[in-house]
A and B are shown apart, each in its own frame.
Chain A
Amino acid sequence: GAGVSQSPRYKVAKRGQDVALRCDPISGHVSLFWYQQALGQGPEFLTYFQNEAQLDKSGLPSDRFFAERPEGSVSTLKIQRTQQEDSAVYLCASSVTPTGELFFGEGSRLTVL
């Protein structure tokens, strides 16, 4: 597609449920990033992929968070046993090269009740 596509756009989960958020980057983009944006805050880095390799996961807040990009294109961010503090917008971004311009998707807004 023309831009970075994320789904679902909105997700409501009960505390303790598992959720999966999908990111379709721009075709041909090597680098893919996940960011978490809490209400009224700037985005915070979660994890980075170069092709299928997850090269940096230092921003993942706990071992309940897991991300994958098995074929080097679509990526999935999975959150297990969701907690209320996980409520945020999860942004995906991609770039042609690791230091190239980032293109952001519109985000997946997760609300944990």
Chain B
Amino acid sequence: ELKVEQNPLFLSMQEGKNYTIYCNYSTTSDRLYWYRQDPGKSLESLFVLLSNGAVKQEGRLMASLDTKARLSTLHITAAVHDLSATYFCAVDPSKMPTNSGYALNFGKGTSLLVTP
């Protein structure tokens, strides 16, 4: 069974600070996703990482993937209040397209609160 572990689960940080959220997973996968969820809202896709060494950046967020270490990181640079949300990583356990499409395995999420 594929396990996806995020840490920390809760993070309170001051505006302007940097921090990293970690996502470890237990089996081989070449596809990892990061989502953002605001309270009572849907999941918003942030990044899709499709190969070892992939790095993507959008604004103050940067995601990377190390498939050999089975680790992805989401780095926050100079945090602002608008980044307060829950962040999920999700792993696709299939190594190739199957008739099951892909049933993503999600971590428990990291609740981020950015304070003044």
Contact = CB atoms under 8 A, between A and B. Distances in A.
A16 interface: no
A56 B103 contact: yes
Interface in B68-116: 88, 90, 92, 97-109
Contacts of A25: none
B99 A99 contact: no
Given A42-B88, A42-B107, A42-B108, A106 B101 contact: no
Nearest to B94: A99
Interface of B: 4, 33, 35, 40-45, 48, 88, 90, 92, 97-109
Given A33-B103, A59-B103, A91-B43, A41 B97 contact: no
A63 interface: no
A1 interface: no
Interface of A: 4, 31, 33, 40-45, 48, 50, 55-56, 58-59, 91, 93, 95, 98-99, 101-107
10 contacts: A40-B108, A41-B108, A42-B88, A42-B90, A43-B104, A59-B103, A93-B43, A98-B98, A102-B45, A106-B40
B106 A106 contact: no
Contacts of B107: 42
Given A102-B45, A104-B42, A55 B99 contact: yes
Nearest to B89: A42
